[in-house]
Structure 1
Amino acid sequence: MKKYIILFVSIVFLISCELDMKPESDLTYNGFWDTEEAAKAAHVGIYANFRNYHSTIWRMGEVRADLWGGATFANSPSDLDLIENNISTSIVYFSNWANFYGLLHYINDFIKNAPEVEFSNEQDLNHMLGQVYGLRAFVYYTMVKAWGDVPISTEPLLEVDLETLKKPRAPKTEVMNQIKSDIAKSLEYFGNDNSLWLGKTIYWSKAATLALKGDAFIWSGKVLGGGNADFNEAKSALEQMTEFELESYSNLWGQVNENNLEFIFTVDYQKDQASNFYGSWTTTRAVDLVNLTDEHGNPMDNFVVNGLSRYGVSEKVLLMMDDTLDQRRNTFLRVYDDGSVHVPFQAGDPSYQGSILNKFLGVIGDDGTRWDYNNVPLYRYADVLLLLAEAKNNLNEDPSELINLVRARAYGDNFTGHEYINGTKAENTQAILDERLKEFFAEGKRWWDLVRAGDNYVFEEVATLDADEAYKIYYSISESMLANDPELKQTDGY
């Protein structure tokens, strides 16, 4: 722990390129918290910083599941050990707690100091505090899912005192209590204010906190043994979200549709600021498409793309998402080398070369280049509906109506005959998991979904993880972390 804190305090805290703040030292700013403008600048900086963690959050919740590991055109695949769940004390992913404590410093600093600043409109301050408490809960929720027991730090770094900076890992139940406390504070500060900050979903909101509450309380109820009390809290939170709706697929994806009524909280990507990681990971290079065709035999030579293929869609997913009546089949473009028609998809087909993710393809600019400036949702209304279905199922209630709302959007005019009929709790759980896989492919949710489902679902669905390796649900920490801080203990089982 000492190691990452030393690294962290050596950097300038506020990373937004729009701000020009001169630090008094590595730990504090001279007069930084004197004005409303400075507090709002710090608020902007938190989101700029949060965006830097998006790819880490995605890899944590996506790559270990059953989604990837397929063909990657001519590109070298990434994260093969993670895909294979080959994790140990020597193969450590996301060391130094993925540097999340750097992000938490910004958040803790705001929570401590912003309330001391005089605002011309107190509701602005309350809204920002509601946002920041929600973000802190989200960060700790990500960490407790990833490592289980983690140190809890709710104070900003005011000085470098290596002895006081050493902290043991708090039990996961204690971390979850911190998450629940932050969720409650977030909702308290938002009060009855359901507005979006500046009218944009790139800022946290009361709706985002309610979505997080549903998500986290189901995890607490299922994974940490909280049971029906937690499931009821999740259900209540999710049922409050009535201002959103499912968009048609034609209005869901793409930069022109980023203000749709389904997105609740999104990570912001803009030209001259940052592009998202999908183009570099889940597309390919134009040179790789020469002489190749799509599944209908249409040439791909003129398809504009300038990325890489580092994660190949698994055959399991290609088969599960091969219903031509389900619009989600178009989540990716399947590419072949023989010019023939390949519908339906056939596993083991030697002419299949790979798939291009179609969900976040960006736009083609005036220069003929494809730019990856799509905002990426972390929560959207389909998520709320299926989480609510999950909460109801855990309470032995019928989730079929909620599942069918999502299915009806996916099938459109072809929905008749594809309705889901309420089954046993186990059958409903499987149906929800399958629906979430199709709905949220490549959105960073599948691994968490499988673990949150409990029982043996994660071992049944993920071929690279056996039940006797259940300790691998949580990540290991590095030997250097243990050597640098005797307060830390290795994750159980490693």
Structure 2
Amino acid sequence: MKLIYFFLALVLTASLSGCSKLLDKKPITDLPAEEFWKSKNDLKSGMAGVYSGIQQMLSNNYLIWGDIRSDNLEQGGNNNFRVHFVNALTATTVGSDWTPIYSAIGNINTALKYVATIRSRDASINETEVNDNLAQLYAMRAYCYFTIIRLWGKAPIWTEPYEDITQSPLKARSSVDSVMNLVILPDLAKAISLFDPTKVRVVWYVNAGMAYALLTDVYMWRKEYAKAIEASQNLIGKYDLLPKDRWKELFIAPDQDNSNKAENIWSLPWDWNVNGTSGLYNQLSNGSNSVSCGMDIDLYNRWVADRYTDIRFSLTTDTNSTSRQKHPKFIPVNLDANKMQIYPKNGQQNTHYCIYRMADILLLRAEALVHLNRFPEAQDLINAVKVRAGLKPIILGGGDVEGAVDIILMERQKELFCESKRWYDLVRNDRVPTVMNPIVFRRSNFLSDWGTDLRKILWPINRTVMNSNSLLESNPPYSD
């Protein structure tokens, strides 16, 4: 009897011509996987369960992994992330558990095995449908493993479902290069080869654009700038920036623009009616005095100088709040008679987790161009984002690569604030000590900055994870 069962999803599904969203996965059966993947309805429900796994993986961790350790945020009205803000992570710190990612990977591995042969059980499913679903799965698995190696470094590799109780459930960690070369890059190559580039895009579903966006991100992480430019070229002309007066739509209605040149590439929906309040809403904009995060004072002071020209500032943070602890970026503008933002009660707000959009890719591409001394091309891309925000274009002088990268990173910090990008930007560009040491030192009453020990850039592996797998080695300098 196989050990792992694939939980079916109680979801609302729709055809690709609609805009219905994949909702939360609810266990409603313990039917073995080999008895489940038999029909088109099974395929829809099974894929919904996979997407739900990604939702659960990111719900609370989207901000924790991508922003909270960076210079975007500081302690808000409670102490939920005190240790994150002062770089005092331990093996029990919230966010240190990679189990949600491996749960998502397990769902993906099971789906990959059975989707590949589902046509033999339901002839109404055509080859194009199978290929498209396989492509989505490969791209999502690459995204999961890319997340793991950026946060923890070495990682156990699972590419097959664990279905045989006689096989050991324990694996040691493989090197980052092994994960990259055995899983991430091959999975993205498979995804790109299987996607139909003519298919109508739906922002809630992984698509060819997401695969190229992720590939661009991967090559930037590896500092393979020519390859990043090549990958991002596949998105030029297929996606574009929304006009300035529609910037807010990117976060509250990413499916509203159905044109062939929409900006959103992939967004994950969170329906509070089904899933409850999202972690992102609780952490940023629940309207109470106990919001977990405030905008870091240094960023606020730099940005507020442009408050009358940069439309992003007032749409990102509540300018009527003196605490810097309310960020309505991901909720609709809803003002009372006194022009104060009204926050939904009791977390009754749908949330859209923006994973990739074109502004992100244009700025990554600009960064790659700078490293190849193609400054005029990089300048055009930077200015496209700046002018859209309401700012004046800049002249990017040639020759100073690091200075140009700093300009791009500052633009990314504002444009992509709390979109789970900033921490990775700092790590990718070796900026963690120079940017974060003075900030962490300012925040703490004891020296907890990185100093020269860059090993602390990686996360500790959660104690429960370590205790459940004797083959794992912890990340130094953390203790188990």
TM-score normalized with structure 2 length: 0.82
* Alignment map for 1:147-296 (pairs within 5 Å): 147-161=152-166, 164-177=168-181, 178-190=183-195, 192-196=196-200, 199-221=201-223, 230-241=224-235, 242-254=237-249, 255-256=252-253, 258-260=255-257, 261-270=262-271, 272-274=273-275, 275-285=277-287
Aligned with 1:492: secondary structure?
coil
Deviations along 1:93-137, whole A, 9 cap, x unmatched?
434424311111110011111110115321111111111100000
CA drift at 1:58: 2.7
Which residue of structure 1 lines up, in the alignment, with residue 29 of structure 2?
A: 22
In structure 2, relative to structure 1, the CA distance for the partners of 1:369 and 1:169 (3 Å cut) is closer
Q: Check whether the contact 1:77–1:309 (CA below 8 A) recurs between aligned residues.
A: no
Deviations along 1:349-400, whole A, 9 cap, x unmatched?
xxx33342121124769x9945421322110000010111122222232221
Which residue of structure 1 lines up, in the alignment, with residue 352 of structure 2?
A: 375
Which residue of structure 2 lines up, in the alignment, with residue 448 of structure 1?
A: 424
Q: Check whether the contact 2:145–2:179 (CA below 8 A) recurs between aligned residues.
A: yes
Measure the CA separation in 2 of the matches of 1:126 and 1:265.
19
CA drift at 1:475: 1.0
CA drift at 1:14: 3.5
Paired residues in the alignment total 426
Measure the CA separation in 2 of the matches of 1:23 and 1:266.
30
Measure the CA separation in 2 of the matches of 1:171 and 1:210.
24
Measure the CA separation in 2 of the matches of 1:428 and 1:246.
22
Q: Check whether the contact 2:204–2:266 (CA below 8 A) recurs between aligned residues.
A: yes
Q: Which runs of 5+ in 2 are unaligned?
A: 13-25, 336-341, 441-448
Higher deviation after alignment, 49-58 or 204-213: 49-58
Aligned with 2:326: secondary structure?
strand
Deviations along 1:229-267, whole A, 9 cap, x unmatched?
x32221111011021110123212243454331110001
Which residue of structure 1 lines up, in the alignment, with residue 434 of structure 2?
A: 460
Is 2:147 the partner of 1:137?
no
Q: Check whether the contact 2:56–2:100 (CA below 8 A) recurs between aligned residues.
A: no
Q: Check whether the contact 1:404–1:420 (CA below 8 A) recurs between aligned residues.
A: no
CA drift at 1:449: 0.5
CA drift at 1:489: 0.9
Is 2:406 the partner of 1:391?
no
Q: Which runs of 5+ in 1 are unaligned?
A: 1-8, 222-229, 289-307, 337-351
CA drift at 1:66: 0.8
% identity of equivalent residues:
24
CA drift at 1:157: 1.7
* Alignment map for 1:314-325 (pairs within 5 Å): 314-322=296-304, 323-324=306-307, 325=309
Q: Check whether the contact 2:270–2:352 (CA below 8 A) recurs between aligned residues.
A: yes
Letter in 2 for 1:124: E
Deviations along 1:5-50, whole A, 9 cap, x unmatched?
xxxx7886334445785324xxx23621222321221111111221
Which residue of structure 2 lines up, in the alignment, with residue 112 of structure 1?
A: 113
Measure the CA separation in 2 of the matches of 1:41 and 1:137.
22
Measure the CA separation in 2 of the matches of 1:66 and 1:377.
20
Deviations along 1:414-462, whole A, 9 cap, x unmatched?
525x4544451111110111010011111111000100113xx111111
Structure 1 counterpart of 2:389, from 402, 410, 416: 410
TM-score normalized with structure 1 length: 0.80
Letter in 2 for 1:458: V
Q: Check whether the contact 1:400–1:420 (CA below 8 A) recurs between aligned residues.
A: yes
Aligned with 1:137: secondary structure?
helix
Deviations along 1:189-248, whole A, 9 cap, x unmatched?
11x52434xx42011000000000000111122xxxxxxxx3222111101102111012
Deviations along 1:439-490, whole A, 9 cap, x unmatched?
1111111000100113xx1111113232422001111124444344221111
Measure the CA separation in 2 of the matches of 1:405 and 1:209.
23
